[in-house]
């Protein structure tokens, strides 16, 4: 469940960044924000699968506990005279993709809870 929480946190941060980009489409010198978390989440999951003996609690990372989405500013050049690099069509497409990812994660979380609910219901018989 921790994986789903972190993935949902990442998609939510990306949603906020994209909507902020769209809201600032006409702000002079505004540079769009980009949120990355997939590679970092994948790496933290892989690190949590290492089966090494810990001799001290701080020696080996504990799964996704160090995970945090990265918010970066896209400083690429702009074709606009005002220095803004937001393209509303691109941002709208990114928002749609992010919404699909968020909805998919929510469905997976619901599926996990349904499994738990099923185990509890069947175990009580």
pLDDT single digits (tens) 33-50 = 999 998 888 887 777 665
pTM above 0.95?
no
d(C-alpha 40, C-alpha 67), whole Å: 7
User: What percentage of the chain reaches a pLDDT higher than 90?
Assistant: 58
User: Is residue 69 pLDDT above 70, yes or no?
Assistant: yes
pLDDT single digits (tens) 92-103 = 999 999 999 999
Span 84-97, average pLDDT:
96
User: Is residue 121 pLDDT above 60, yes or no?
Assistant: yes
């Amino acid at each position: 469940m921790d994986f789903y929480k972190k993935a949902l946190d990442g998609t939510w941060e990306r949603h906020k960044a994209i909507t902020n980009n769209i809201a600032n489409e006409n702000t002079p010198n505004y540079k769009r924000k980009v949120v990355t978390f997939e590679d970092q989440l994948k790496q933290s999951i892989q690190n949590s699968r290492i089966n090494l003996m810990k001799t001290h609690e701080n020696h080996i990372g504990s799964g996704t506990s160090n995970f945090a989405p990265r918010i970066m500013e896209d400083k690429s050049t702009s074709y606009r005279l005002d220095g803004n690099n937001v393209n509303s069509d691109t941002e709208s497409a990114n928002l749609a993709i992010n919404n699909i990812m968020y909805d998919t994660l929510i469905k997976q979380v619901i599926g996990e809870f349904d499994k738990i609910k099923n185990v509890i219901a069947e175990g009580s018989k």
